Chains A and B, each alone.
Chain A
Amino acid sequence: GQQLNQSPQSMFIQEGEDVSMNCTSSSIFNTWLWYKQDPGEGPVLLIALYKAGELTSNGRLTAQFGITRKDSFLNISASIPSDVGIYFCAGPIFGSGNTGKLIFGQGTTLQVKP
């Protein structure tokens, strides 16, 4: 079935370091979304990508929609303690059109050491 695989599963980095995580799928996606979830909160949308090859930035965050449409990556530059959380990639469930029904990866947990 449709699956999103995120790597790494977890990261423990020093404050100020850059972070890179990615998301891959065996099926093609037309939209890639990156969310961040803090403990006890719901996911918050960080970046949305709608076109193969698209590179989009949001402050210190940069995400790219892979050319094959089967992958995406998220980079965080100069990490700070508040970047701690779980990062999820997500995309439309196959066959759901533009309804907004999403499938999520299993998440990358980021911990930042001050």
Chain B
Amino acid sequence: GAGVSQSPRYKVAKRGQDVALRCDPISGHVSLFWYQQALGQGPEFLTYFQNEAQLDKSGLPSDRFFAERPEGSVSTLKIQRTQQEDSAVYLCASSLTTMAGAFFGQGTRLTVV
């Protein structure tokens, strides 16, 4: 596609519910990143894929967070047993190479009530 596409754009989850957030990167982009952006803050790194390999998941805040990219294209970020502190915008970014300067999607705004 023309850009990084994320779905859904908005998600309201009841506390304790599991959610799955989808990212369609730009076609052919090797690197894929997930970031979490709290209200009024800059994005914070969660995890990084190179093709289908998850090379770094050091930013995931707890073991309730899980990300996958099984075929090296679409990625899913799953959050189990959501908590109120998980409320944030989740941004996906992709880049053609490993150099900095990735293209970001519009994000998914998750609200846990």
Point out residues on A near B: beta carbons under 8 Å: 4, 31, 33, 35, 40-45, 48, 88, 90-93, 96-107
Contacts and interface: CB of A to CB of B under 8 A. Distances in A.
A106 B98 contact: no
26 contacts: A31-B100, A33-B100, A33-B101, A42-B91, A42-B105, A43-B104, A48-B100, A88-B42, A91-B100, A92-B100, A93-B45, A96-B56, A98-B98, A98-B100, A99-B48, A99-B56, A100-B95, A100-B100, A101-B48, A102-B33, A102-B43, A102-B45, A102-B100, A102-B102, A103-B45, A104-B44
Given A42-B4, A42-B93, A100 B101 contact: yes
Contacts of B41: 106-107
B106 interface: yes
Most B-side CB within 10 Å, residue of A4, A40, A101:
A101
Interface residues of B, number: 27
Given A90-B42, A98-B99, 17 more contacts: A40-B107, A42-B91, A42-B93, A45-B101, A90-B100, A91-B100, A96-B56, A97-B98, A98-B100, A99-B55, A99-B98, A100-B31, A100-B48, A100-B99, A102-B33, A102-B35, A104-B42
Contacts of B45: 93, 101-103
